[in-house]
Structure 1
Amino acid sequence: MGTRKGIVGTDGEHWKIQRHFVVTHLRSLGFGLKTMDDMVREEVTELLSILKQSKENEIKIVPIISVSVLNVLWRSLSGSRLDRSDPNLQYLLDLLDKRALAFNMAGGVLNTFPWLRFISPEKSGYNLVIELNKELKALLMKTINAHYETWTDGRDDDLIYSFISEMKKSNGAPTTFTEDQLLMVCLDIFIAGSQTTSNTLDFAIMMMILYPEIQEKVRNTLNEAFDKTEHISYNCRGRVPYIEAVISEVQRYCHVIPVSGPKRTVKDAILGGYRIPKDTTLLFSFYSINNDESYWKDPEVFRPERFLDSEGRLSVPERFAPYGFGLRRCIGEVLARTSIFTIFGEILRNYMIVEATGSQKPTEIFVSGITLIPKQYEAKFIRISH
């Protein structure tokens, strides 16, 4: 939106202050604790209810999952969830989908030739990006303005209230806590979190259809580890290392994020014998890392056991980093892991998933945008009686 604000696209002191604030807030909401599990649990309960109502008809799962994931993010930001019948919810999902497909992994033609926006704003996609940003801003500002009206001194029960409280503390002094910054933080969380998580789940469901023997092993593992009356919880993931191995293999094999978001060198550096000048833009090729034959031996094979040691314990190599490295790791990693583990586990425990009759079988040829997504497919969810 014409600024270098938010968290994902910033660095230096601004980034340190804002990242610390958001991470602290997420922890205060209980991320990694029971509060977060409760948030995800409510969405899982609704999702399972929708699958039950489908009565084993052939459906597309990703629109259902996308709403669940977006609602977890929305609640962390605004303190409330959107009803599935709320037109704002579908509108927001549509905007995020359009925005994701407006770029490719290299940022689109505008990233390479930014001057094209002056010559061909329509064909270059510049007008589309401007319009989508305008609509996203209007939708988020509606929620932010509603928070202004109900804010009270020190209120911090969701991220927007907490941010407004920090804004008020400045009393007019220079600060990084501004309305533009709040808007960009909200966008960062939505754009970076919603589609990557829902796309990972979409890929995971698709791979279970393509590899029914692995699907059966996943279900048997869950049934052995969790009593039928017990909720599956991320805090209990240690019971089922195979499930975590399957999810890790989905992230490696399907590479939802083939290339990392851009980073900037803040000083001259030497890396692998190469001189990298200050202010160079760097991107990590996760696709190359995850398909390195010298390390994985058979990267073209979908094999969850590669993430287990000889005794069946989870063993994740340091080079496998679906959420990034170091201080620039995804700030919503624990939320994403909790959502993926819980939603995937509950669906697989309660339903056998098979390809739709007479329709095209899911394919491992993916659709490219900012992230990779599966080609749309339909599936039948057959309820399992416990």
Structure 2
Amino acid sequence: MEMFAFLFAALIVLLCAYWRVATKRPTQYPPGPQWLPIIGNTSLLRNETKKYGRQIDVFRVWKKLYNSSIIGLKLGRELVVVALDYSLIHKVHTSNEYDGRPDNFFLRLRTMGSRLGITCTDGEIWSEQRNFVSRHLRKTGYGRNAMEELIQHEMKDLIQVIDEFNEQPVCSGNIVSIGVLNVLWTFTAGKKISNNENLTHLLDLMRQRSKAFDMSGGWLNTIPFLRFIAPERTSFNLIKHFNAELCNFFKPIIEEHKREFSADRIDEDLVFAFINEMKRNEGVPSNFTDTQLIMVILDLFIAGSQSTSNTIDFILMSLVLNKDIQKKCHEEIDAVLSADDIPSLKDKPKLSYIEAVILETQRYYNIVPVSGPRRVLNDTELGGFHLPKNTTVLIGLETIHMDTEYWGDPDVFRPERFLDFDRKIVNTERFVAFGQGRRKCLGEALARASLFIFTVGILQKFSLEIPLNGKLPEKRTQAGLLTTPTPYKIVFKHR
């Protein structure tokens, strides 16, 4: 009996010691909620997100609660900090020690179990592959006239699709996303995606994936073993199915390029250029492999399939909700373009109000409210706190765009904040929708051009109306990895 009591007491002491070690915060670590052994703050963050609606809203609450613009958490075994003001975020964006990516289960699952591609890599492979993609996109016309002509062509196709609805109510996001993605896909694979039914299915999977996860990866990242117990509830099966669908979609295109490859075609599109690098490196260790090509395409597909089309969807929604702003857009377009003119990037200086509407939409709706994640490559300091090597950093972009001290009235949709008295674009110093520094969005030029030409092209031909006996679109958005509009219908009425 005495032995049992001794063992029991020893067990209690060991458990207490383990609890203390497992819940101890690192020295000079940022303030934040107390965490639990094994799961850390994952359960608390998930519950608070359900309570407040979005992860960024939880971080805002904690920012006030702990009177700190940097919050320290632990999610599973991962130390995670959240940067929530401009000075901190600018440092994370622009300092080399934050260029890493976490090596965790969620990010590896995103890239089919590998640590390849561009988005989720760091170090030499990231620099090599990013530079390669940037260089060859430029060779195929990215950022030049060829890009503009491609966007104009897709814009005209979109106008034709809208015409076919004959002023009947339609969900704009469903039709805009295909045109936007085809622009990116032409640079990648040299041609449009011809099977719209298949494309619509893939885009639907993308939306499901976006809603199922946040930037922290959730329970699946905290306790990967849960994929064996609850594969549906953790959305493990969703990602596996999504990955398999994309592989089945990409592989025939890659094989077709291999069959048709010749040295004089390497500048036609990214896939030909990549295959050329594979051939140049045959017989020697290289990052140019079939798997890496699939991962690069996957990164481009994920990056380009939703963010730009969601922004256009929000632009159209904002114009329906703000008829006075839509009227100003129409007046500006009518003063600059004739009915037969094709919108061009050279029109931007004369269509500054349209550009201001686009900027305000990106600021107001924040397609990526929490970005990252970054990995600290060495022990460092942020905001006066110590961040141990390999700490994960999440970036609260929305806190910059909704900062009352800087913007004054951030909760008001007001495009004029980006215009001076001469109607020139100003006040973009704190506009960080595309990030900053070396990891700035690779597709920024394409996204900006697409947003402008698609928006002007639609407004040149149509006014946006609420369906008869319909209801106004909801300002409430859907949370997830990306912010998406609550589905709504509008009428594209011929002008």
| TM-score normalised according to structure 2 size | 0.75
Q: Is the 1:102–1:108 contact (alpha carbons within 8 Å) kept by the matching residues of 2?
A: no
Q: Is the 1:154–1:162 contact (alpha carbons within 8 Å) kept by the matching residues of 2?
A: no
Identify the residue that residue 19 of structure 1 maps to in structure 2.
Answer: 130
Tell me whether 246-255 or 146-155 shows the greater mean CA deviation: 146-155
- Secondary structure of 1:263's match? strand
Q: Is the 1:252–1:290 contact (alpha carbons within 8 Å) kept by the matching residues of 2?
A: yes
Tell me whether 221-230 or 28-37 shows the greater mean CA deviation: 221-230
Deviation at 1:154, TM superposition (A): 5.3
**Paired positions, count:** 383
Deviation at 1:234, TM superposition (A): 2.1
Identify the residue that residue 89 of structure 1 maps to in structure 2.
Answer: 199
| 1:347 aligned partner, one-letter code | I
Counterparts of residues 16-95 of structure 1 (less than 5 Å): 16-83=127-194, 86-95=196-205
Cα distance in 2 between the residues matched to 1:180 and 1:154: 24
Tell me whether 64-73 or 103-112 shows the greater mean CA deviation: 103-112
Tell me whether 149-158 or 193-202 shows the greater mean CA deviation: 149-158
* Residue 143 of structure 1 pairs with residue 253 of structure 2: yes
Cα distance in 1 between the residues matched to 2:346 and 2:240: 42
Cα distance in 2 between the residues matched to 1:23 and 1:244: 25
Deviations 1:1-54 (A, max 9, x none): 111111111111110000000111111111221100111111111111122222
- Secondary structure of 2:371's match? coil
Larger radius of gyration: 2
Cα distance in 2 between the residues matched to 1:86 and 1:322: 29
Pair 1:332–1:278, CA change in 2 (3 A):
same
* Residue 200 of structure 1 pairs with residue 272 of structure 2: no
Runs ≥4 residues deviating over 3 A: none
Pair 1:302–1:127, CA change in 2 (3 A):
same
Identify the residue that residue 237 of structure 1 maps to in structure 2.
Answer: 348
Cα distance in 1 between the residues matched to 2:143 and 2:346: 8
* Residue among 94, 99, 103 paired with 2:213: 103
Identify the residue that residue 255 of structure 1 maps to in structure 2.
Answer: 366
Identify the residue that residue 242 of structure 2 maps to in structure 1.
Answer: 132
Deviation at 1:86, TM superposition (A): 4.1
Cα distance in 2 between the residues matched to 1:55 and 1:346: 17
Counterparts of residues 203-282 of structure 1 (less than 5 Å): 203-282=314-393
- Secondary structure of 2:395's match? coil
Cα distance in 2 between the residues matched to 1:105 and 1:253: 20
User: Structure 1 vs Structure 2: percent identity of aligned residues?
Assistant: 41
Cα distance in 2 between the residues matched to 1:262 and 1:248: 24
* Residue 340 of structure 1 pairs with residue 448 of structure 2: no
- Secondary structure of 1:59's match? coil
Cα distance in 1 between the residues matched to 2:320 and 2:397: 25
* Residue among 122, 146, 150 paired with 2:232: 122
Deviation at 1:356, TM superposition (A): 1.2
Identify the residue that residue 305 of structure 1 maps to in structure 2.
Answer: 416
* Residue among 365, 373, 380 paired with 2:484: 373
- Secondary structure of 2:441's match? coil
Cα distance in 2 between the residues matched to 1:10 and 1:211: 42
- Secondary structure of 1:321's match? coil
- Secondary structure of 1:171's match? coil
* Residue among 173, 183, 188 paired with 2:294: 183
Cα distance in 1 between the residues matched to 2:388 and 2:206: 35
Cα distance in 1 between the residues matched to 2:344 and 2:382: 41
Cα distance in 1 between the residues matched to 2:488 and 2:233: 30
Cα distance in 1 between the residues matched to 2:202 and 2:285: 33
The runs of 5 or more residues in structure 2 that have no matched partner are 1-111
Q: CA RMSD in A?
A: 1.4
| 1:114 aligned partner, one-letter code | P
Counterparts of residues 144-159 of structure 1 (less than 5 Å): 144-153=254-263, 155-156=265-266, 157-159=268-270
Cα distance in 2 between the residues matched to 1:168 and 1:154: 14
Q: Is the 1:95–1:136 contact (alpha carbons within 8 Å) kept by the matching residues of 2?
A: no
Deviations 1:218-273 (A, max 9, x none): 11111212233321112331222211111010001111110113111222222221
- Secondary structure of 2:478's match? strand
| TM-score normalised according to structure 1 size | 0.96
